[in-house]
Structure 1
Amino acid sequence: MTAPNRTARITARLLKTPWLMRMPIGLYRVGLGWLLGDRLLMIEHLGRVSHTPRYVVVEVVERSHNVIRVASGLGSGSQWYRNLRANGVAYLSIGRARRIRANVRFLSEDEAAASFARYAAAHPQAWEQLSAAMEAATGSTAPAPMVEFTPPGLR
Structure 2
Amino acid sequence: MTHEPAATPAPRRPDPPTGWRRPAFRLPVHMFRMGLGPLFGGRLLLLVHTGRVSGRSRRTVVEVVEAGTHEGRAGWTVASGFGPGADWFRNLLHTPHATVQAGRRFHAVTARVLTAEEGGELMARYAPRHPRVARRLCAYMGFTVDGSAEDYRRVGESIPFVRLTEGAKR
Shorter-chain TM-score tier: 0.7 to 0.9
Higher relative contact order (CA 8 A, sep 6+): 1
The 2-side partners of 1:148 and 1:21 are apart by 23
For the Cα contact (< 8 Å) 1:74–1:144, is it kept in 2? no
TM-score (norm 1): 0.81
Which residue number corresponds to residue 47 of structure 1?
Answer: 51
Shift of 1:34: 1.0
Identity percentage of aligned residues: 38
Contact 1:41–1:57 (CA under 8 A) maintained in structure 2: yes
Which consecutive unaligned segments of at least 5 residues does structure 2 have?
A: 1-11, 144-154
- 3-state secondary structure, aligned to 2:77: strand
Residue deviations 1:33-57, cap 9 Å, x none?
A: 1112100011000100111110110
Letter in 2 for 1:109: A
Query: Is residue 2:83 matched to residue 1:79?
Result: no
Q: Distance in 2 between matches of 1:74 and 1:148?
A: 17
- For the pair 1:125 / 2:132, whether they are aligned, the reply is yes
Alpha-carbon separation, structure 2, partners of 1:82 and 1:106: 11
Aligned pair partner of 1:36 in 37, 40, 47 = 40
Q: What stretches of structure 1 move > 6 A for 4+ residues in a row?
A: none
Which position in structure 2 is the counterpart of 1:143?
158
Whether 1:91 aligns to 2:106 is no
What TM-score comes out, normalization by structure 2 length?
A: 0.74
Gaps of 5+ in 1: 1-8
What SS does the corresponding residue of 1:75 show, helix, strand or coil? coil
Give the match's secondary structure for 1:18. helix
Match of 1:5 in 2: none
Amino acid at match of 2:64: V
CA distance in 1, matches of 2:141, 2:53: 27
CA distance in 2, matches of 1:90, 1:134: 25
**Is the helix fraction higher in 1 or 2?**
1
SS of residue paired to 2:82: coil
Work out the CA distance in 1 between the residues paired with 2:122 and 2:160. 11
